[in-house]
Structure 1
Amino acid sequence: MSGSADRISLGTPKLKAVVKAEGAELTSLKDGEGRELLWQAEAAWPRHSPVLFPIVGKVKDDTLRIGEASFPMGQHGFARDSRFTLVEHDATGCRFLLQDSEATRAIYPFAFRFEVAYALHGATLAVTYGVTNAGEGTLPFSVGAHPAFRWPLPGSAGKLAHRIEFEQEEAGPFFRLNDKGLIDQTPHALPTHGRTLGLREDLFRPSAMILLNPASRRLQYGAPGAPGLEVAWQGFGQLGLWMKPGADFLCIEPWAGHADIDGYDVDLWSKPGIEMLEAGETRRFTWRVSVTG
């Protein structure tokens, strides 16, 4: 382990990671040969792997409705732009904490503890989100991952050689975001062949591809005959795939929750996909990325 409380470096002989306290965000992931696997927050999209909490995606009019009250809430919530406290760290792991404050309660009136833990094991990075209800009533929330992996991956062929191989055959459908950033209710057929989704930029020109109920809990990403990545997740019920056409990254995003569905006029308590925690309860969500091949 090296670094400061602002930026922590972790490593094994097969994988190295850097995490920053701002947003508890993963900023670098390098394989055993020192090749960068993560998008480096270039101008096309100035983030690496933001942590999404207490919402995923957008809410209607960027306004969180809770009963008769309304609160401003930007896309993906406030955690990605909040400074976390470093709780512990060693050579291969670290844990960060964000707690409710006067500032968070002004826009999200709930008591919570939100922990983000990183752990390296050989060629695998495990990321665990722990949400604890620190209040007396029910805690409604969503949480999600948003890692942007390089596309093409280093040492691989060009973009069009890359594909996603799902764990299970995915019958679909998938959904798009509309110009308001909300999920359009129109279903689209998933263009898979068996378990394989061939990747090309035009798949993402309208918006992200959103699977609201994927059968898979893991997938392989990369080009045949070259090192690739396996991404696996537990606790997350939805999956987003996104890239910005013209940029060299692909986001593989396990979510517990999603953007508001356009046409659903509901408050947070009735929002589709919302998670609920009773007082004192903790729920954990984990995603892993492993270098394969």
Structure 2
Amino acid sequence: MTTGTDRVSLATPKLRAEVKADGAELTSLRDAEGRELLWQAGEAWPRHSPVLFPIVGRVKDDTFRLGDARFPMGQHGFARDSRFTLVEQDATGCRFLLTDSEATRAIYPFAFRFEVAYALHGATLGVTYAVTNAGEGTLPFSVGAHPAFRWPLPGGAGKLAHRIEFEQEEAGPFFRLNDRGLIDQTPHPLPTHGRILGLREDLFRPSAMILLNPASRRLRYAAAGAPGLEIAWQGFGQLGLWMKPGADFLCIEPWAGHADIDGYDVDVWSKPGMEMLNAGETRRFTWRVSITE
């Protein structure tokens, strides 16, 4: 077992990645020409690609409810601000581990093992989240990815030339967050043309775009006619798209879970989108990003 490492560098001839132990967060993704594909934690948003666990989004009043018990829980949970242990590493892959502690049990009273693994294969980075219930009862949780890719991508095309091409036609609707960070129940028509969503900043001016039941399990993000990125996922049932108007990034976020829906006054056992894991079981969630020609 290797411990105490702050950052890990991975490389193939076509792709290079860096991951830090704090949050097990991907911090850099460069192509064969050395061009950075990931947002570099600028003033508009101080993160690169945080890992979301044990919740995704925000819970009502920032309070995690278990029956009559109440626990403080900030947006997206505590994993992104936790120090992981590096347990495995080679030239093209690494695996990080977070386990429950006195500090986590004070706000999330469950025993768990949460592993985050990265693996490079040619021009593809694969990421696996493995959640294990290390306790005796049911483990409720959500988990999600939050990678911020450069927008525009390197290559010269402007922002308005970029688009998302979904794997399948997406009928929508999508949903927004309200000023308390909860999902507003008002549906919005998804402004796609066939499988294409043209990208412009005003799409994100109110808040993120949230697809609670997308048909697709992959998409391509690129400027028309130019190399781009294919993002694919398994095990995640929801998808978030987000950016801060004026900033040069686009977050493409596969989720297993989502923020509380405004008007649903329920505890975690009845919360829509929560995963439930029996004692001793492990559940895996994967996403990958590939450079496409």
Q: Which residue of 2 aligns with 1:161?
A: 161
State how far apart, in whole Å, the 1-side matches of 2:276 and 2:96 are.
22
**Is the partner of 1:239 in helix, strand or coil?**
strand
TM-score, normalised on structure 2?
0.98
Q: Which residue of 2 aligns with 1:132?
A: 132
Q: CA deviation at 1:122?
A: 0.1
State how far apart, in whole Å, the 2-side matches of 1:14 and 1:214 are.
31
Instruction: Tell me whether 1:43 sits opposite 2:54 in the alignment.
Output: no
Return the letter of the residue paired with 1:44.
Answer: A
Q: CA deviation at 1:226?
A: 1.6
Preserved CA contact (<8 Å) 1:184 1:262 = yes
Q: Which residue of 1 aligns with 2:246?
A: 246
State how far apart, in whole Å, the 1-side matches of 2:224 and 2:193 are.
15
> How many percent of aligned residue pairs carry the same amino acid?
89
Q: Which residue of 2 aligns with 1:148?
A: 148
State how far apart, in whole Å, the 2-side matches of 1:163 and 1:224 are.
7
Q: Which residue of 1 aligns with 2:284?
A: 284
The CA deviation string for residues 117-147 of structure 1, in whole angstroms up to 9 with x for no partner, is 0000000000000000000000000000000
Q: Which residue of 2 aligns with 1:272?
A: 272
- Unmatched segments (≥5 aa) in structure 1: none
Counterparts of residues 52-63 of structure 1 (less than 5 Å): 52-63=52-63
Counterparts of residues 59-138 of structure 1 (less than 5 Å): 59-138=59-138
Distance 1:37 1:120, change over 3 A: same
Q: CA deviation at 1:156?
A: 3.7
Q: Which residue of 2 aligns with 1:190?
A: 190
**Is the partner of 1:55 in helix, strand or coil?**
coil
State how far apart, in whole Å, the 2-side matches of 1:269 and 1:108 are.
13
State how far apart, in whole Å, the 2-side matches of 1:113 and 1:80 are.
15
**Is the partner of 2:291 in helix, strand or coil?**
strand
Q: CA deviation at 1:225?
A: 2.1
Preserved CA contact (<8 Å) 1:11 1:120 = yes
Preserved CA contact (<8 Å) 1:54 1:141 = yes
The CA deviation string for residues 59-106 of structure 1, in whole angstroms up to 9 with x for no partner, is 000000001000000000000000000000000000000000000000
- Unmatched segments (≥5 aa) in structure 2: none
State how far apart, in whole Å, the 1-side matches of 2:259 and 2:135 are.
25
State how far apart, in whole Å, the 2-side matches of 1:50 and 1:227 are.
25
Q: Which residue of 2 aligns with 1:171?
A: 171
State how far apart, in whole Å, the 1-side matches of 2:172 and 2:35 are.
34
* Divergent runs of 4+, >2 A: none
State how far apart, in whole Å, the 2-side matches of 1:210 and 1:225 are.
27
State how far apart, in whole Å, the 1-side matches of 2:62 and 2:34 are.
40
Q: CA deviation at 1:168?
A: 0.3
Q: CA deviation at 1:224?
A: 1.5
Return the letter of the residue paired with 2:123.
Answer: A
State how far apart, in whole Å, the 1-side matches of 2:90 and 2:229 are.
25
Return the letter of the residue paired with 2:275.
Answer: E
Aligned residue-pair number = 290
The CA deviation string for residues 173-199 of structure 1, in whole angstroms up to 9 with x for no partner, is 000000000000000000000000000
Instruction: Tell me whether 1:204 sits opposite 2:204 in the alignment.
Output: yes
